[in-house]
Amino acid sequence: MNDSEKALKKKRIVHAVMLVVLVVLFFLFISPFLLVVINVFKTKADITSNPLALIGKHGFTIKNFPEAMKKMNFWMVFFNSLVITVSATVLTIVFSAMAGFVIVRNKWKACTLLFSLMVASMVIPFQVLMVPLVSVYGGILGVLNHRLTLILLHTGFSVSMATFMFHGAIFTNIPLELEEAAFIDGCNRWQTFWKIVFPLLKPTIATITIIDAMAFWNDYLLPSLVLQKKELYTIPIATQSFYGTYSTDIGLVMAALLLAMLPILILYLFLQRYIVKGVTSGAVKG
């Protein structure tokens, strides 16, 4: 066996080992989701007796879904989560894209300072701001228990990361010559951004949509601080209170968890092809 054959054999062994490791890691990561899917169609007795069985002794059942939806008031909390998630995501994308464009195309010191402050703010954990947040917005301003308050807070906390990504995408992938050609054709700065620059940011927009929509939809801590009224609950809050109230029936808990996961999972499946492209387009040249 010559050296080339030995190298080829070694390469195949390495690839096989990597494939096995990736498959094992995949099943480890997806196993909680699989357990939820398997057990949501069982009765409480079947889940307790054998949670790993594909089908319980009492057969296949879908009774957990309507009962869980009724007890957690699913459509109300779904509407609240949908309004908050869509509104905050759209505002984040619009403001961040415009901010990134202005920072990239203007060499003002104010833009450099603003961008530096945004990058620095990304390292501040939200937990540090929890107590002042509740004290100021609740005790002084009295604006808690409003969807708009939560939407603006979500937007404010996410705009720095989104601006950073849009800044990299515009700086790296959108040549200045395109904008100069638009100016020659009679477009002003506003028209150039919306008609030329913004459509070219589609991969980055899709990536930020997935990242922020998942974060807003699944967030429990911030909504639990802002929203105290039950009619304003989002799905994570309703799921948590549901679990504490009806934790004896694991089937209902599994149904509630699956109902909470499905909308954002569907969004991810529609947009996941843009993730790698969008992250790559936001990489800043050295």
Place of tokens 């908050």: 84
The H-assigned helical ranges of the chain are 3-39, 44-49, 64-71, 74-105, 109-121, 126-134, 147-173, 176-184, 189-192, 198-200, 202-218, 221-226, 235-245, 250-271, 275-281
Predicted confidence at residue 163, as pLDDT, reads 93
Whole-prediction pTM: 0.81
Take residue 104 and report the two structure tokens written for it. 């990239």
Domain ranges of the chain: 3-39, 64-281
- Region for 227 from its dihedrals, namely left if φ exceeds 0, alpha if ψ lies in -120 to 50, beta otherwise: beta
Helix (H, G, I), strand (E, B) or coil at 219: coil
Predicted confidence at residue 253, as pLDDT, reads 81
Asked if 141 and 213 count as a contact pair (C-beta separation under 8 A), the reply is no
Take residue 7 and report the two structure tokens written for it. 């190298």
Predicted confidence at residue 283, as pLDDT, reads 47
Q: At the fourth CATH level, which superfamily is domain 64-281? A: MetI-like (1.10.3720.10)
What's the DSSP call for residue 194? I
Q: At residue 29, what is the residue type?
A: F
Q: Work out the pLDDT band at 285, boundaries 50, 70, 90.
A: very low
Q: What CA–CA distance (Å, rounded) separates 199 from 211?
A: 19
Report, as an integer, the average pLDDT of 88-92: 95
Predicted confidence at residue 87, as pLDDT, reads 95
Average pLDDT along the chain? 84
Q: What CA–CA distance (Å, rounded) separates 244 from 45?
A: 19
CB atoms within 10 A of CB 57: 11
Report which of 145, 148, 153, 169 is spatially closest to residue 92, judged by C-alpha positions.
Answer: 153
Report, as an integer, the average pLDDT of 77-95: 94
Q: Work out the pLDDT band at 261, boundaries 50, 70, 90.
A: confident
- pLDDT tens string 127-182: 888 778 777 777 677 778 889 989 998 998 999 999 999 998 898 888 888 888 88
Asked if 242 and 133 count as a contact pair (C-beta separation under 8 A), the reply is no
Predicted confidence at residue 229, as pLDDT, reads 86
Predicted confidence at residue 284, as pLDDT, reads 46
More confident residue, 108 or 242: 108
Whether 82 shows a pLDDT value over 80: the answer reads yes
Whether 74 shows a pLDDT value over 70: the answer reads yes
Q: Work out the pLDDT band at 80, boundaries 50, 70, 90.
A: very high
Q: What CA–CA distance (Å, rounded) separates 145 from 139?
A: 12
Whether 125 shows a pLDDT value over 70: the answer reads yes
Asked if 135 and 217 count as a contact pair (C-beta separation under 8 A), the reply is no
Report which of 100, 86, 126 is spatially closest to residue 209, judged by C-alpha positions.
Answer: 86
CB atoms within 10 A of CB 175: 9
Whether 250 shows a pLDDT value over 50: the answer reads yes
Report which of 82, 35, 24, 33 is spatially closest to residue 263, judged by C-alpha positions.
Answer: 82
Whether 33 shows a pLDDT value over 70: the answer reads yes
- pLDDT tens string 174-210: 888 888 888 888 888 888 889 889 988 888 898 899 8
Report, as an integer, the average pLDDT of 88-114: 91
Q: What CA–CA distance (Å, rounded) separates 109 from 18?
A: 48
Q: Work out the pLDDT band at 96, boundaries 50, 70, 90.
A: very high
Report, as an integer, the average pLDDT of 205-224: 89
- pLDDT tens string 47-57: 877 777 777 77
Predicted confidence at residue 248, as pLDDT, reads 64
Q: At residue 156, what is the residue type?
A: G
